[in-house]
Structure 1
Amino acid sequence: MPSSKPGSRTQSGSGLNQAQRARARSFSYRLFSQLFLEGITAVSLPYVQQIPELTAVRPHPFNADAAAASHHKLFQFNIFPFESYFLGADGLVGGESTAVVNQLYFQLGYQTAVDNNQADHLGQELACLAFLVAQEAEAWESDHEPAISDWQTRQQFFLQRHLLRWVPACLLAIQCQANSFFAELAQVTLTLLLTHADDLDASTATVHPFLPPTQDILANEKTGFKEIARHLLLPALSGITLSRDNIGELGRHFDLPRGFGSRETMLLNLLRMAVQYDALPQLLANLQDSCADWVQNYQQLQAAYPQTIPFIAPWQQRAEATGRLLVQMTASTNH
């Protein structure tokens, strides 16, 4: 049998050799990074058009101003794609966890100028992953076994300690918004990420608890709608994401005023108005259905990508607990 040429070993079931496979994966991560950071631009549009799933849902005709406005609305007012936001118990972006990510970039060999407050943005973490996979591709092309193993280990570490812990929940949240392009981009990115994790067997390490502790807020007699609204709006506590548009849609569905202001103010107003208009049981039932949808989405991910169970199961458990909380609230309103 002829000896393999450098970088020519072919992945079973794939027409690409290992180097080509890594190059393609790195290119995808880099493009998706740019799209999440900036939206579709004149520069990225030709590359978007090479991906059938994205071409089918891209704005047509393309208008740069409209694309920028769509991106701004989604990621400035509805979904906050930051690790610190999704894993934190305070709903804030930045802080220590963001600084940790920024420091890790340098430890992984990813030398980039990133604003410290932006380091844990979904787009920045995907850019780092794109870099790590590109280095692996170069190692395959040089047929350098130790370097191949080293760069794969770095990818595995980054996936385990960061991306897998929060990005699936973030991407599912994006899919729940009325933006067909970014919903499809989220789906394509999620498939790429979880397939990558499966290939690396990224669940081999022990996964320590990564979501903040919760408590039974209804057990506290001082708990009111304000505390409930805050709990529902923190993904790491509730296991779900309620965007500004989601809250507005609920208000329109039940013909309830929700006012303006922050998401917390809007949801608080919605709950109070539901009481005033005798619509609280119906509103809570709708929220229960939403939790059930989240639970089902988490279950489907775990079934499709068994390696990710240690990372997805905690989110599913939070969504299930939130569903039970809403059932308790409904029962209390009927007495």
Structure 2
Amino acid sequence: MELFRALGSLIEAPSPEQVRVAAALGLPAAPSPAEHGRVVGQQRYPYASVYLGAEGMLGGEARARIAGFRRALGLEGQPTGPSESGDGASTGTVPSREPDHLAALLGLLAALERWRREEADPARMALLTQARTTLLWEHLTSWTGPFLATFERCDSAFHRRWASLLEETLAHLCGDVEFPDYLPAALRAAPGFADPRREGGAAFIGALLAPVRSGQIVLRDDLERLGGDLGLACRAGERRYVLNAFLAQDPGRTLAWLADHAAEWSRRVAAKGPPPIAAWWSKRAADMSALLKELAAEAQPGSTTRPPDPAMDDAGSRGDRSASTRTVQ
């Protein structure tokens, strides 16, 4: 279980300790601050709320669920992260206001396993075992499959190997855990995607960029690839702004590209994590792909039905700027 704590420390901001941890795990050299910022800090946000929240934003109900779980364990107000091991060892901490950070969740997982090993009372042992199951099912494997999949094609050897090792380690642990026969609460409660023909362009873009609603993750790197593939001008700015610009330039081909991306994403996550969770993410991405294909066909020249243009929506690119302080787009 110390492996989980070590892996969690490696997704935090670079520190001298990471160099030693990476070497001990046989990983490539730890990233520089610039590489960490480019790969993680600017687009792969390691917070459960970004992937499980209906708006794809930091905080909200997804973070509140995790905070409530910590309260139930009697950990409210205590530091999150590696220091929860109780052995004085720490490779860095995550502020308690961010209990949904991956490092905090992995640190708590390691702590729960330590407490289980040290517990002599069978009743308390059973409670700690149930807490570990809840943490894994509700707050970790519910989103780490898609999140870790985003590292598969990044240009950082360190992050590719780190993600692969964490995925393997979680899968090994989950093989010994009896999970519930129902989906995690965040997935059960997740709203569907927004059809721009009924809900408008701004709602459509927002849902497209919220992983739990669209079933996929659209990175900044993906949008740059979209622009390159279609020969469209890729403007600097938040993802909403960039998508609005693409849709204004060529709505049909942009929607078709996004449909293919969602279909590919459905295949990529189909085996990521426990089967019921992986199937949920895969189906949601496949359904999103079907909607995007339909919208792309309607946006083609000569079509009698055209979807709303998100770039012209009153909550489109102008509203994107005003929301930048509270989103991760």
TM-score interval w.r.t. the shorter chain? 0.7 to 0.9
Distance 1:130 1:110, change over 3 A: farther
- Superposed CA offset, 1:103-123 (max 9, x none): 422433557324354111111
Partner of 1:16: none
Distance 1:272 1:178, change over 3 A: farther
Distance 1:176 1:322, change over 3 A: farther
1:133 lines up with 2:99 in the alignment: no
Map 1:6-155; keep pairs closer than 5 Å. 26-39=1-14, 41-52=15-26, 54=27, 58-59=28-29, 67-108=32-73, 110=75, 112-114=78-80, 115-139=95-119, 146=123, 148-155=125-132
Partners of 2:182 and 2:122 lie apart in 1 by: 22
Contact 1:90 1:234 in 2 (8 A): yes
Higher share of residues assigned helix: 1
Contact 1:152 1:200 in 2 (8 A): no
Contact 2:193 2:208 in 1 (8 A): no
Partners of 2:245 and 2:154 lie apart in 1 by: 21
Residue 49 (structure 1) shift:
1.8
Q: Which amino acid is the alignment partner of residue 82 of structure 1?
A: Y
Which runs of 5 or more structure 2 residues have no equivalent in the other structure?
81-94, 304-329
TM-score normalised to structure 1 length: 0.76
Partners of 1:215 and 1:74 lie apart in 2 by: 27
Q: Which amino acid is the alignment partner of residue 291 of structure 1?
A: A
Residue 266 (structure 1) shift:
1.1
Partners of 1:215 and 1:322 lie apart in 2 by: 7
Partners of 1:244 and 1:120 lie apart in 2 by: 22
Percent identity of equivalent pairs:
22
- Superposed CA offset, 1:132-159 (max 9, x none): 12223334xx7x6555444322211211
Work out which of the two has the higher radius of gyration on C-alpha atoms and give 1 or 2. Answer: 1
Contact 2:266 2:286 in 1 (8 A): yes
Residue 255 (structure 1) shift:
2.5
Residue 229 (structure 1) shift:
2.6
Distance 1:310 1:240, change over 3 A: same
Contact 1:78 1:243 in 2 (8 A): yes
Partner of 1:310: 276
Q: Which range moved further: 123-132 or 255-264?
A: 255-264
- Superposed CA offset, 1:17-58 (max 9, x none): xxxxxxxxx11110111111224x321222322334x2xxx2
Partners of 1:78 and 1:206 lie apart in 2 by: 27
Residue 251 (structure 1) shift:
1.3
Q: Which range moved further: 233-242 or 144-153?
A: 144-153
Distance 1:300 1:101, change over 3 A: closer
Aligned partner (choices 240, 247, 258) of residue 287 of structure 1: 258
1:332 lines up with 2:298 in the alignment: yes
Partner of 2:137: 160
Which runs of 5 or more structure 1 residues have no equivalent in the other structure?
1-25
Q: Which amino acid is the alignment partner of residue 204 of structure 2?
A: I
Contact 1:110 1:131 in 2 (8 A): no
Partners of 1:260 and 1:299 lie apart in 2 by: 32
1:189 lines up with 2:155 in the alignment: no
Distance 1:147 1:247, change over 3 A: same
- The alignment partner of 1:165 has SS state of coil
- The alignment partner of 1:44 has SS state of helix
Aligned partner (choices 174, 190, 198) of residue 212 of structure 1: 190
- The alignment partner of 1:30 has SS state of helix
Q: RMSD of aligned C-alpha atoms? A: 2.5
Residue 241 (structure 1) shift:
0.7
- Superposed CA offset, 1:268-310 (max 9, x none): 11222234xxxx42x4443233222221122233xxx6xx222
- Superposed CA offset, 1:149-173 (max 9, x none): 4432221121122112122222222
Post-superposition, which runs of at least 4 consecutive aligned residues in structure 1 deviate over 4 A? Answer: 144-148, 204-209
Q: Which amino acid is the alignment partner of residue 105 of structure 2?
A: E
